[in-house]
């Protein structure tokens, strides 16, 4: 049964990864097509400005032939990145392999792009496609752009998977809060579980939040909204009193107006929290 459960879990993870890769592919393809259209029309506008005769179909053939090969190569980059993940932990060993991968990527891109142009030019323009530079110079010129494209593919894949992983972690933390009444705080490689009822207040601090509980401060890399969701799922009555502060209503002793519409909140642990007029009604709910 355990083996079956692990196998089912791996299948779910793989299905999620593939769904992420499909969405990334569609976004990348749409972006490349838009870029091809912009580049082709820019070439036409530049030719018109210089008074140079240019068949309007030529820049579109050149740009779309490049995009067509990139679209075909993208799934190969996805598979390679799956086999050789480029992450904060693995980049030292992965970097040389991905540099080699970018060279292969560029070689295939240039070869496929030239082959398509050599077929399309005679068929559409009734003229041969002619390279106006040496193959070596063309390869060097194209590699500069292809290396950036390859790096962009890898970066997009990495960022997309990071977003999905954080969503999974947030969903797991909320499930834990509902089941056990504890909240989950992560920072770096550390994970802390705290009873929700022990939380006094929470303050946003850039990309982190500081959770005050049991007389101690705990820093976690998450958002104030994510912690609020966990606390509510754990059954704790919390209120947002400022865009940067969240309080446990059971630990609020008193509120004091400041004279400018805002207010101060005195907490059971002796802390004073700044309250904003925008959120004044939250404590009265």
3-state SS, residue 83: helix
Task: Clarify whether residues 159 and 69 are in a common domain.
Answer: yes
**Would residue 175 count as lying in a domain?**
no
Task: Clarify whether residues 143 and 257 are in a common domain.
Answer: no
- Number of folded domains in the chain? 2
**Would residue 153 count as lying in a domain?**
yes
User: What's the pLDDT tens digit per position in 139-150?
Assistant: 889 999 999 999
Nearest to 142 by CA among 115, 117, 105: 105
Neighbours of 136 (CB within 10 A): 8
Those residues with Cβ within 8 angstroms of residue 224's Cβ, 6 or more apart along the chain or in another chain: 202, 204, 209, 240, 244, 246
pLDDT at 1 over 50: no
Q: Which domain holds residue 147?
A: 2-169
Task: Clarify whether residues 58 and 146 are in a common domain.
Answer: yes
Q: Which of 136, 169, 202 is the last residue of a domain?
A: 169
Give the pLDDT score at 6. 53
Alpha-helical (H) ranges within 51-90 are 57-83
Task: Clarify whether residues 163 and 196 are in a common domain.
Answer: no
Give the pLDDT score at 15. 73
Give the pLDDT score at 37. 95
User: What's the pLDDT tens digit per position in 196-220?
Assistant: 999 999 999 888 999 999 888 999 9
Residue 235: give its domain's CATH number: 2.40.50.1020
User: What's the pLDDT tens digit per position in 101-134?
Assistant: 999 999 999 999 999 999 999 999 999 998 877 8
Give the pLDDT score at 88. 80
Task: Clarify whether residues 243 and 131 are in a common domain.
Answer: no
Question: Residue range 257-261: average pLDDT?
Answer: 84
User: What's the pLDDT tens digit per position in 66-105?
Assistant: 999 999 999 999 999 989 988 888 889 999 999 999 999 9
**Would residue 94 count as lying in a domain?**
yes
């Amino acid at each position: 049964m355990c083996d079956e459960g692990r196998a089912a879990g791996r299948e779910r993870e793989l299905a999620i990864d593939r769904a992420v890769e499909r969405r990334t592919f569609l976004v990348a393809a749409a972006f490349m097509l838009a870029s091809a259209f912009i580049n082709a029309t820019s070439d036409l506008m530049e030719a018109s400005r210089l008074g140079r005769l240019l068949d309007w179909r030529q820049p579109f053939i050149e740009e779309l032939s490049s995009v067509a090969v990139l679209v075909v190569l993208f799934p190969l980059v996805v598979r390679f990145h799956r086999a050789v993940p480029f992450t904060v932990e693995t980049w030292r060993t992965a970097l040389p392999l991905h540099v080699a991968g970018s060279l292969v990527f560029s070689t295939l891109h240039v070869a496929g792009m030239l082959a398509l142009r050599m077929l399309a030019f005679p068929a559409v323009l009734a003229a041969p496609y002619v390279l106006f530079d040496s193959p070596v110079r063309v390869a060097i010129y194209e590699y500069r752009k292809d290396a950036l494209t390859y790096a962009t593919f890898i970066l997009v894949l990495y960022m997309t998977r990071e977003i999905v992983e954080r969503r999974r972690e947030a969903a797991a933390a909320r499930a834990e809060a509902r089941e056990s009444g504890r909240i989950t705080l992560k920072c770096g490689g550390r994970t802390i579980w705290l009873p929700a009822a022990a939380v006094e207040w929470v303050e946003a601090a850039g990309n982190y939040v500081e959770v005050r509980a049991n007389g101690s401060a705990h820093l976690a890399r998450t958002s104030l909204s994510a912690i609020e969701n966990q606390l509510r799922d754990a059954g704790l009555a919390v209120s947002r009193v400022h865009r940067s502060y969240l309080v446990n209503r059971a630990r609020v002793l008193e509120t004091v107006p400041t004279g400018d519409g805002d207010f101060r909140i005195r907490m059971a642990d002796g802390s004073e929290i700044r309250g904003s007029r925008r959120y004044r009604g939250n404590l009265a709910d």
